[in-house]
Structure formats: structure tokens, C-alpha cells
């Protein structure tokens, strides 16, 4: 159905924006054994952005599943 496709595209775009806006991490060097022992918990805006990212991922997944089931 057309509505589920539109919801999926909007949710995907918002999820991409949220992921790119989260400026946490040390880059590619950390993925290959770089030691970064600093760890902090998410608070305030970071927590809200993290939760919104999860929400958009769920909405995206459900819209894809419902779109496939309705066609």
C-alpha cells in the first residue's frame, strides 16, 4: 500500500538524520583495537535522540512488514 511506503521512507530519513546527529565515538581507529576507556551514560538530549532512533527503526520495520503483508 502507498501509505506504508511513504511511512517507511520518512522513518528511514529521520533515522539517518538521528544516527548522523549522534556525535559519539572515536571513529574507525577504535573499531580496530584502539583503546578508549572513557565511557559515559546518555543524558538529556543524547538520551532522547537515542530513543527516537530506536522508535524510528521500529516504525520503519513495522511499515515494511505491513506493506508486504498488505500487497
pLDDT per residue as tens digits for the range 20-67:
888 765 555 555 555 555 666 778 888 899 999 999 999 999 999 999
Per-residue pLDDT at 45: 86
Per-residue pLDDT at 26: 52
Instruction: Give the orientation angle of helix 45-70 with respect to helix 2-21, to 10 degrees.
Output: 160
Backbone torsions φ then ψ of 11, nearest 5 degrees: -65, -40
Whose cell is 503483508? That residue is 69
pTM above 0.85, yes or no: no
Asked if residues 56 and 15 have their Cβ atoms less than 8 Å apart, the reply is: yes
**Residues in contact with 31: Cβ distance below 8 Å, sequence separation at least 6, in sequence order:** none
Domain ranges of the chain: 2-70
Amino acid at each position: 500500500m502507498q501509505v506504508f511506503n511513504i511511512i517507511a521512507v520518512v522513518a528511514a530519513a529521520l533515522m539517518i538524520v538521528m544516527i548522523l546527529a549522534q556525535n559519539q565515538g572515536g571513529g574507525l581507529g577504535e573499531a580496530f583495537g584502539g583503546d578508549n576507556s572513557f565511557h559515559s551514560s546518555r543524558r538529556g538530549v543524547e538520551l532522547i535522540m537515542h530513543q527516537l532512533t530506536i522508535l524510528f527503526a521500529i516504525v520503519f520495520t513495522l511499515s515494511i512488514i505491513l506493506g508486504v503483508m498488505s500487497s
